[in-house]
């Protein structure tokens, strides 16, 4: 994206501030998007790790419990015919234990000491774990998982009571180290953490790519907006986007164009109004000085007539400016009363007929046979509209030497039409003729706000004010107002 036109950035523009804003936007986006994803992923990974740890522990415990149960049943049914035989056969059972590489087989005496061990090194020691106490008290199989008080090693054990004549004469205990299981659990946790980091990294990268695609054009839009605010009206940006960013850029470009156009129109308006005000003032001053030195009655009459005409034109321009000022700040109001619209328009028509005769312009009026009931309206404002429309018809279409006016309508509306036979309005200018300050290619005198005021007056009366070119040449103004 780049800047196509417009002046340099204003002195007040601070690139560092824009960077901070972009960083803040990126940070807020990442926090709002990554935080919930990371928390959910962390919960899933934590739940998975806890579940896998419980799975390993339970599988290990079930294996020990199954071995201990089967072995104790076999040992009791085959070698427990007497108490003394228990000690003798325990040595044989431990010596023939085939899984000594995976776990340790212990035989616990009634005093809680290890009397026989498949490892042989722990004989005579007391395990002092809870499963030993439980098995002698409850006469039932008892598991244990924790730290061996003698070695400090993490172990898992299962103890099974050995009964003789319904008395516990000892216990068979399977013991295994948890180092291998814990290593597997650590590997699982590491894999889960790695997967969590990969997922978070992928989400982070995708979010960074997305937010950068948003932040960078927003940064350029911000810089362009600063240029426009600094006075570089008309600045335009390239728009390769077809999404919301593209719509924003289009809006900024359109705003810049409209501001540039408004500034140009305002400058032209100030220049035009200054010229329009200076012209009658110059005529009034010039004729005033002339009449002071010239006593010719004919010249005096002519000079006074010109002064009055220019004074009226000056008064009309000032009134238009005052009306426009009221429109801009919302003070433009109506004094509503019951008005005979047709009669008001005809009064204006007959007044202008005499004025147009002096300019060799024929004003034809077509009256409506139907009488319309009075409507609630502001008679003075409507008369202002009628006068402005007729003045414009003479000013811009007077070359046709003819103006037509008519009143028509029905039960729901009253339509007033004024048409001239001049050159008309260029098609490209038609959409803008009612805009304030707009004068288009016309060289006729005027402030450029008369039609804007007329349009506002009719709008306040809930009517429509339309300007278009007529068939056969000339311009036609159509005013539609609701009937009573």
pLDDT per residue over 31-60, tens digit each? Answer: 777 778 888 888 888 888 888 888 888 888
pLDDT at site 368: 80
Cβ neighbours of 157 (radius 10 Å): 25
CA–chain centroid gap for 21, Å, is: 16
Structure tokens at 191: 């894999």
Q: How far apart are the first and last CA of the chain?
A: 57
Q: Give CATH 1.10.287.130 domain extents, the chain.
A: 244-329
Nearest CA to 465 out of 402, 382, 404 is that of 382
More confident position, 227 or 327 = 227
The C-alpha angle with vertex 9 and arms to 6 and 14, in degrees rounded to 5, equals 155
pLDDT at site 3: 38
User: Could you tell me the fold of the domain covering 337-482?
Assistant: Heat Shock Protein 90 (3.30.565)
The C-alpha angle with vertex 410 and arms to 407 and 412, in degrees rounded to 5, equals 115
| CATH number for the segment(s) 244-329 | 1.10.287.130
Handedness of CA 8, 13, 15, 19 (dihedral sign): negative
Nearest CA to 439 out of 427, 456, 451 is that of 451
DSSP letter at 473 equals: S
pLDDT greater than 90 at residue 463: yes
pLDDT greater than 60 at residue 446: no
Q: Which of 13-17, 104-108, 150-154, 349-353 has the lowest mean pLDDT?
A: 13-17
Q: Give CATH 3.30.565.10 domain extents, the chain.
A: 337-482
pLDDT at site 276: 65
Neighbouring C-alpha atoms within 13 Å toward the C-beta of 143? 14
Question: Tell me: the pLDDT tens digits for 62-95?
Answer: 988 888 888 888 777 765 566 667 777 788 888 8
């Amino acid at each position: 994206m780049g800047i196509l036109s417009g002046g340099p950035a204003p002195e007040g523009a601070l690139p560092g501030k824009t960077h901070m804003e972009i960083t803040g936007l990126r940070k807020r986006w990442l926090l709002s998007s990554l935080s919930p994803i990371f928390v959910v992923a962390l919960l899933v990974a934590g739940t998975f790790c806890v579940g896998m740890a419980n799975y390993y522990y339970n599988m290990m415990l079930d294996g020990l419990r199954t071995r201990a149960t089967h072995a104790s049943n076999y040992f009791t049914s085959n070698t427990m015919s007497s108490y003394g035989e228990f000690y003798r056969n325990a040595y044989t059972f431990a010596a023939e234990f085939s899984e000594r590489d995976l776990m340790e087989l212990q035989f616990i005496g009634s005093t809680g000491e290890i009397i026989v061990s498949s490892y042989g090194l722990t004989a005579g020691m007391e395990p002092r774990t809870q499963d030993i106490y439980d098995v002698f008290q409850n006469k039932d199989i008892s598991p244990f998982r924790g730290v061996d008080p003698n070695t400090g090693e993490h172990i898992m054990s299962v103890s099974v009571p050995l009964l003789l004549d319904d008395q516990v004469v000892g216990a068979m205990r399977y013991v295994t180290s948890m180092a291998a299981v814990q290593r597997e659990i650590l590997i699982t946790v590491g894999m889960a953490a790695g997967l969590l980091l990969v997922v978070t990294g992928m989400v982070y990268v995708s979010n960074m790519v997305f937010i950068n695609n948003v932040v960078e054009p927003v940064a350029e839009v911000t810089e362009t907006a600063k240029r426009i605010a600094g006075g570089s009206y008309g600045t335009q940006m390239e728009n390769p986007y077809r999404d919301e960013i593209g719509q924003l850029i289009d809006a900024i470009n359109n705003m810049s164009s409209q501001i540039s156009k408004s500034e140009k129109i305002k400058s032209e308006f100030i220049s035009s109004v200054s010229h329009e005000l200076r012209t009658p003032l110059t005529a009034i001053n010039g004729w005033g000085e002339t009449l002071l030195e010239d006593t010719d009655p004919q010249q005096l009459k002519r000079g006074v007539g010109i002064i009055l005409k220019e004074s009226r034109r000056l008064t009309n321009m000032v009134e238009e400016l005052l009306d426009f000022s009221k429109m801009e700040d919302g003070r433009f109001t109506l004094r509503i009363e019951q008005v005979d619209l047709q009669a008001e328009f005809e009064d204006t028509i007959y007044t202008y007929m005499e004025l147009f005769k002096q300019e060799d312009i024929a004003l034809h009026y077509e009256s409506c046979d139907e009488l319309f009931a009075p409507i609630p309206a502001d008679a003075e404002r409507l008369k202002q509209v009628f006068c402005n429309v007729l003045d414009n018809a003479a000013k811009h279409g007077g070359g046709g030497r003819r103006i037509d006016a008519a009143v028509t309508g029905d039960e729901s509306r009253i339509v007033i039409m004024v048409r001239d036979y001049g050159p008309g309005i260029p098609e490209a200018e038609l959409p803008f003729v009612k805009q304030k300050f707009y004068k288009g290619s016309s060289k006729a005198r005027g402030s450029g706000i008369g039609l804007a005021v007329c349009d506002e007056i009719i709008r306040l009366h809930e009517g429509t004010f339309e300007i278009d070119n007529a068939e056969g040449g000339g311009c036609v103004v159509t005013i539609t107002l609701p009937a009573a």
